[in-house]
Amino acid sequence: MQVNEPYPGTQAVLRAIALLKAFSDERPQLGLAELARMVGLNKTTTYRLLTALESQGLVARNPANETYRLGPEVISLGGRALRASDLRSISRAELEGLARATGEAATLETLVGLEVLVLDDVSGAHLVGATQYIGARWPVHATSTGKALLAFLPEAELEAILAAPLAQVTEQTITTPDVLRRELASIREQGYARAVEELEVGFSAVGAPIRNHNGQVVAALSINGPSARLTPERLAEIAPLVVAAAARVSEQLGYK
């Protein structure tokens, strides 16, 4: 594994970070050989790094099948990071208010690469509703929050994202850059985005952007749930509530 060290002596740190990032929702447990191959290291070096990470609780080894998974200390660190997030704490009351007002699930999401990351969620009032969880990631072009974020990115950043393939998640997913550009232009005009069965059949959402004190869009709020309840007409009714909630969060972050 070739690592460009920003500072001398950091190669081992960067390699250890690469090992931690190799785990995913799809592959939560990995063996030594798999990890070595994924990060481009030999097995001896990989084993030494894993042993060090295990000693600090950052990975855990299953002796029954000799696989590794992320350890309890990662959960602890993640919890501290979330608690330290001003964005999450400021947005919480608005999420709860949206969930109460609509009866549907409300989420706070931010852009990470080509995906949106769920930072917080509040469940709705219905037994049948959207299933989200903190830490979930979804394709940015297939979600209301993702499109709300894309619509207000600087042009160079947007074009870099659109240069990557737009995966077709459902039949309704927008996979053509020019079509997505046109939708993003409409989102900029109306101030919110909709995603009707673009991420999953039977699932719809409406999202609005949150700005920081510099006017930069840093996150988005959404209301999401079954398409049977969140019809196009219902989404249009809910949209102003989401826009207003996002505006209040933006104001608390210093946006004027």
| pLDDT computed for residue 64 by the predictor | 87
| pLDDT computed for residue 1 by the predictor | 46
| pLDDT computed for residue 129 by the predictor | 59
Q: Is residue 95 within 8 Å of 107, Cβ to Cβ? A: yes
Distance between CA atoms of residues 118 and 133, nearest Å: 7
Distance between CA atoms of residues 49 and 16, nearest Å: 6
**Amino acid in the structure at residue 250:** S
Residues of the chain with CATH 3.30.450.40: 85-252
Residues of the chain with CATH 1.10.10.10: 11-74
pLDDT band at 119 (very low <50, low <70, confident <90, very high): very high
SS3 104: coil
Give the CATH architecture of domain 11-74. Answer: Orthogonal Bundle (1.10)
| pTM attached to this predicted model | 0.71
Helix (H) / strand (E) element for 76: namely helix 72-83
Percentage of residues in the chain having pLDDT higher than 90 = 76
Distance between CA atoms of residues 82 and 100, nearest Å: 23
Distance between CA atoms of residues 24 and 27, nearest Å: 5
Classify domain 85-252 by CATH number: 3.30.450.40
Owner of token pair 């549907």: 104
Average pLDDT over residues 62-72: 91
Q: Answer whether residue 120 shows pLDDT above 60.
A: yes
Average pLDDT over residues 49-58: 94
